[in-house]
Amino acid sequence: MKLNYTGSPDPRTFKDFFGTEIPRMLDADPNLIYLDADLMSCIGTAKYGKAHPDRAINCGIAEGNMAGIAAGLAAAGFTPICHTFGPFASRRCFDQVFMSAGYAHNDITMIGTDPGVTAAMNGGTHMPFEDVAMYRALPGATIVDPADTAQLYSIFADLVKRPGVKYLRANRKSNDRVYEDGNTFEIGKGVVLREGPDATIIAAGYMVGKAMKAAELLAEKGIQVSVIDMFTIKPLDAELVAAYAKKTGAVVTAENHNRIGGLYSAVAECLAATCPVPAGCVAVEDEFGEVGPVDYLAERFGLTPEHIVAEVEKTIARK
Amino acid sequence: MNTSEKRELRRFAAEIRIALLEELKARGFGHVGGSLSICDLLAVLYGKVMNYRVEDPKWADRDKLVCSKGHAGPAIYATLALKGFFPMEQLKTLNRPGTNLPSHCDKNKTVGIDCTTGSLGQGTSQAVGMALGDKLKGRQNRVFLIVGDGEIDEGQCWEAAMFTAAKNLTNLVWIIDDNKKQLDGPTADILPTFDLRAKMEAFGFDAVRVKGNDVEALYEALEKKPEGKPVAIIMDNVKGSGVKAVEETASNHSMNVAPEVWDSYIAAVKADLEALEKEVAEA
Ligand SMILES: Cc1ncc(C[n+]2csc(CCOP(=O)(O)OP(=O)(O)O)c2C)c(N)n1
């Protein structure tokens, strides 16, 4: 695995990715079909949609309807990709996703953009800290929270083709860059980004770059930690979690989500069943979101490298 | 309505637009199109129609406003500030860390906001519940509900509309801002609404269609006595209305423009206001 972590943002935004990859994939595969709920311009697919209204379908502001239509298209032999903002890709259409797609085995991919604090200026109503919790409770679902676009390039086509309901949460802008282009990733397999014996930080999405930074800050203090990018939150790479719990004796998760039902819950459930060690958590403390710039919100909700450092030190002390 | 009352409302609408544009300029960006298109309506509601007490914003018998298209919050904040619900200075805190003025309406944050909205469609059912509750409590007030013409893509709006007519909630006035655009473009290209007036009539409303910038027609429609049916007002409107340059911008849902550009919008509204003052002076 070739890393490219410098602490700076990924030069490509996720919007760049979606705006080029979704049209390219639609052109390449006539069975693929893309649906949106009046937010095509937000992920760069509006132009393609105008030219190909039968391949990129704007369903209007009707997310439940969109999810149901996607399920019907799946039943008719298509591979649907849907997009809307994270809160609407989870809360607003969950029963349709759950029953018409999940329960009925009509396989769809749902992209929810601007997860957690990255909803920023849209504010609390648009800030999903619960989307992962909801999708984790959907049997057979796959949940991916990519660290950067290089990673997403490698896995997106596989994700879309996987059976079941797939939920992809990604910022429209960019996270910190972590990877060099050209790496390949496997859905369901976590990536070890750094090795250290004192503790393991397990992070996903927006928090992966923050975890790398935290590891650097900890190293300056003489604490050497391992860092794992757990971009697939479900199915969780339980083997890797257990192995690093055993190896390092302490685990701290870091996620841009409520501490209830997300990565911390998944990892804690796994540890309880495999290798119980002290497990700390950097996540939103069961609160609603609010409006503001991302950096302010990261500080406000405790999602900075400094918060990870403090949690690691606390957790190591419990060993 | 006499000419001077009409002018007064037009003046108030221009003041709302200026305050709104100053507010957005202070942050640099925001939901300008759908905020501008309700300014005339807000002038009529807060200038003449609604009963409220600035000194007692939670007065139980007040008329209430539910802006289901919650992203138009900045226009309501401008109106509330002009009416004295909070200092004008506060408008500059829009979307700033710790603000009481978030991008979408929040009744727990902003004095004078009656309903929390932002996930489109949801204001409709809440408004129905508020109107039903007021009616059950025997209050004489009304609830005014603003819905976007894109927002009505949400099935929930139609569930709420059915309920409104089924329970004959004549204390709830539906106002659909038919400004012809949603986020990705023209409503007609995304999900055409067809004949909204006929649709609302078929749902059991007494529906009228009025120009969204005609304060007199809006006033008459809002004061229309319900005759055994709830009233629905379709505002024939333009997204960005009142600022030609915004109206003519194809993608005007949320705009991020330089301070000089905001200033040019403000100057345009100020020129309209001056023309109005001249009219008053000459009258
Ligand atoms: C449930 C939901 N889906 C999507 C959005 C994102 N969104 C915000 S405004 C908007 C367009 C609204 O169009 P319209 O109702 O016509 O309002 P207006 O044009 O008057 O601003 C969209 C899609 C949202 N806020 N809520």
Q: Could you list the mean pLDDT of each consecutive 10-residue stretch along chain A, which spans 319 residues?
A: 96 98 98 98 97 98 98 98 98 98 98 98 98 98 98 98 98 97 98 98 98 98 98 98 98 98 98 98 98 98 98 98
Amino acid B281: pLDDT: 86
Inter-residue contact A231 to A134 (CB < 8 Å) = no
Residue with tokens 């819950």: A265
On whether the CB atoms of residues B101 and B94 are closer than 8 A, the answer is yes
- pLDDT band for position B283 (cuts 50, 70, 90): confident
* B160: alpha, beta or left? (left if phi > 0; alpha if psi -120 to 50): alpha
Mean pLDDT computed over B116-130: 98
The CA B68 to ligand 1 mean position distance, Å, reads: 10
Mean pLDDT in residue range B29-39 = 98
ipTM of the complex: 0.95
Distance (Å) from the alpha carbon of B267 to chain A's nearest alpha carbon:
27
Cα dist from A147 to A180, A193, B40, B136, B223, whole Å: 12, 12, 46, 52, 55
**C-alpha span between A147 and A185 (Å, rounded):** 12
Cβ–ligand 1 contact at A299 (below 6 Å): no
**Residue-averaged pLDDT of chain B:** 97
Burial (CB count within 10 angstroms: exposed 0-12, middle 13-18, buried 19+), residue A179: buried
- Please report how the helices A305-317 and A206-220 are oriented relative to each other, as an axis angle in degrees rounded to 10: 60
Residues of A in contact with B155 (CB under 8 A): 62, 64-65
- Judge whether A71 and A100 are in contact, CB under 8 Å: yes
In this structure, are residues A38 and B153 in contact, taking their beta carbons and an 8 Å threshold?
yes
Number of independent structural domains in chain B: 1
Q: Does A125 contact chain B (CB < 8 Å)?
A: yes
Asked if residue B279 has pLDDT above 90, the reply is no
Residue B122 scores a pLDDT above 90: yes
Residue A181: its pLDDT value, please? 96
Query: What is the rounded CA–CA span in Å between residue A47 and residue A36?
Result: 13
Chain B residues whose beta carbon lies within 8 Å of the beta carbon of residue A126: 104, 118-119
Q: What are chain A's domains?
A: 14-170 (3.40.50.970), 191-316 (3.40.50.920)
Backbone angles phi and psi of A147, in degrees to 5: -75, -45
Hey, are the CB atoms on B121 and A58 less than 8 Å from each other?
no
Cα-only R_g, chain A? 19
Whole-number Å distance between alpha carbons of A97 and A90: 8
Identify the residue whose C-alpha is closest to ligand 1 atom 13: B182
**At residue B280, does pLDDT exceed 90?**
no
**Closest among A212, A207, A136, A211 to A171, alpha carbons compared:** A207
pLDDT value at B165 more than 90: yes
- Which token pair is A195? 């090795």
pLDDT in tens, B195-215: 999 999 999 999 999 999 999
CA angle centred on B155, ends B153 and B159, rounded to 5°: 135
Of B76, B126, B151, best ligand 1 pocket probe by most atoms within 8 Å of the beta carbon: B151
Q: What is the reported pLDDT for A81?
A: 98
Q: Do B102 and A38 touch (CB under 8 A)?
A: no
Residues in A closer than 8 angstroms to B154, CB to CB, are 61-62
Structure tokens at B252: 């005007």
C-alpha closest to that of B103 among B24, B5, B41, B186: B24
- CATH at residue B112: 3.40.50.970
Cα(B78)–Cα(B16) distance, integer angstroms = 6
Q: How far is residue A21 CA from its own chain's centroid?
A: 18
For the record, the structure tokens of B272 come out as 């309209």
State the residue range of the domain holding B10.
3-282
